[in-house]
């Protein structure tokens, strides 16, 4: 299949596919007689794996390590487990930070409950105070 077909089959932009090739996450495809990239089912499966990882906010470097284990099925997966545990802890930390941010924004929003002149806006006044 051509790159456009691969892009459509995996819902992945063409430029992203090329980037994954350049970065070594996706093997370079063969070429047709007309010098078009020719992808196969292995490319599609690997790209789907990469896309799934990215949807889970897994970094490209982490994906590189996961692909190593995927390509080495006889190795123990303890590093994979540790990597996911670390990623999960990072996500939990970000969620906690976002909850704090939400509380701060709700408090800030409560400073101005009606439409009025900007000079009287409690939100703008609050933002002007350095803490």
Contacts of 37 (CB under 8 A, 6+ apart): 2, 3, 29, 30, 31
| Model pLDDT, residue 131 | 66
Q: In this structure, what are the phi and psi dihedrals at residue 14, rounded to the nearest 5 degrees?
A: -55, -45
Smallest Cα–Cα separation from 21: which of 41, 1, 46?
46
Is this prediction's pTM over 0.85? no
Whole-angstrom Cα distance, residue 58 to residue 92? 14
Whole-angstrom Cα distance, residue 87 to residue 105? 27
| Model pLDDT, residue 106 | 95
Contact present, 28 and 35 (Cβ < 8 Å): no
Banded pLDDT at 116 (limits 50, 70, 90): confident
Tell me the per-residue pLDDT of 63-100, one tens digit each, with 9 for 90 and over. 999 999 999 999 999 999 999 999 999 999 999 999 99
Residue 130 has pLDDT above 90, yes or no: no
Looking at residues 107-122, what average pLDDT do you find? Answer: 88
Q: Tell me, what DSSP letter sits at residue 38?
A: E
Whole-angstrom Cα distance, residue 120 to residue 73? 65
Contact present, 73 and 91 (Cβ < 8 Å): no
Percent of the chain with pLDDT over 90: 79
Calculate the average pLDDT of the chain: 93
């Amino acid at each position: 299949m051509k790159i456009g077909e691969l892009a459509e089959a995996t819902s992945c932009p063409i430029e992203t596919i090329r980037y994954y090739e350049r970065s070594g996450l996706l093997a370079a495809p063969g070429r047709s007689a007309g010098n078009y990239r020719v992808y196969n089912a292995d490319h599609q499966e690997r790209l789907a794996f990469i896309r799934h990882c990215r949807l889970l906010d897994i970094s490209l470097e982490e994906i590189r390590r996961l692909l190593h284990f995927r390509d080495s099925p006889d190795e123990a997966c303890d590093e994979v487990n540790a990597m996911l545990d670390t990623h999960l802890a990072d996500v939990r930390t970000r969620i906690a930070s976002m909850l704090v941010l939400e509380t701060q924004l709700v408090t800030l929003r409560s400073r101005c409950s009606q439409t009025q002149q900007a000079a009287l806006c409690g939100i703008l006044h609050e933002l002007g105070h350095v803490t």
